[in-house]
Amino acid sequence: MPYPIIDSHCHLDFPKFNRDREEAILRAREAGVVGMINSGISLKGNSMSLELAEKYKDIHAALGLSPDIGREGDDKEINAILAQIEANAEKAISIGEAGLDFQDCKTNDERERQTVAFKKIIELAKDLDKPLVVHARLAEAEVLKLVKNVDTVIYHCYSGSVETMKEIVDKGYYISLATLVCFSKHHQVLAAEVPLESLLLETDSPFLSSRKGRNEPAFIVDSIPVVAQIKDLDPAEIAKSATENARKVFNI
């Protein structure tokens, strides 16, 4: 019996789904997935997210700006994405993903550029009164300082320390754990420590697959029994809580 679950973060717009996008969506539904939040990270990706959300009632668009574009993109590209998000905000359930990725930043100048772009997204989320989905890699605490005045924040694919996670949760923000939890000891420690009322589950597909090859939204179901065992709870309770949290946070 599948548990109804929402994949709180996926990238069905990515080219890896070009050959079987429709089938992947059907497989997700058959597995019990009742909603997929598709995160755009570029002009093209945001456009495709909006198209997918228009075509499928169980797909919801999040409009974002990749930290890579924040680091490498020129002002023209960044401003075009900001304008696109603003123009389509009423069709989006959240802003993001956007944030800081210090794993790939080699210089202070790159960090600074990325931070400037992220601050613009933060202001947009506040102005539009939308939840903000953040990408934070080796920059979890830095992101927390920047987003402190945003009402609703979701740390997508959280991979930081337990200590910073507790600070995030204390702010009333949410932690989304990817299918990494199926095989990563660190993410299993995070799963043990995160309060149930602060937890979302995601695939981040096509990345971080719990099975061989490409990840897809259907594989979100792999995380449920793993988290249930870690928390010593019934799998149905994990699925219900993560789904209710996603409905509440994204207002869907």
- Quick one: average pLDDT of 164-182? 98
pLDDT for position 192: 98
pLDDT for position 34: 98
Q: What H or E segment, with its residue span, contains residue 62?
A: strand 59-63
pLDDT for position 1: 60
- Global confidence as pTM: 0.96
- Quick one: average pLDDT of 168-186? 98
Q: What is the pLDDT of residues 89-100, one digit of tens each?
A: 999 999 999 999
Could you tell me what percent of the chain has a pLDDT over 70?
100
Could you tell me what percent of the chain has a pLDDT over 90?
97
Task: Examine the pLDDT at 3 and tell me if it is beyond 90.
Answer: no
Q: What is the pLDDT of residues 99-156, one digit of tens each?
A: 999 998 889 999 999 999 999 999 999 999 999 999 999 999 999 999 999 999 999 9
In whole angstroms, what separates CA 237 from the centre of its chain?
21
Q: What is the pLDDT of residues 221-246, one digit of tens each?
A: 999 999 999 999 999 999 999 999 99
pLDDT for position 139: 95
How far is the C-alpha of 205 from the C-alpha of 216, rounded, in Å? 5
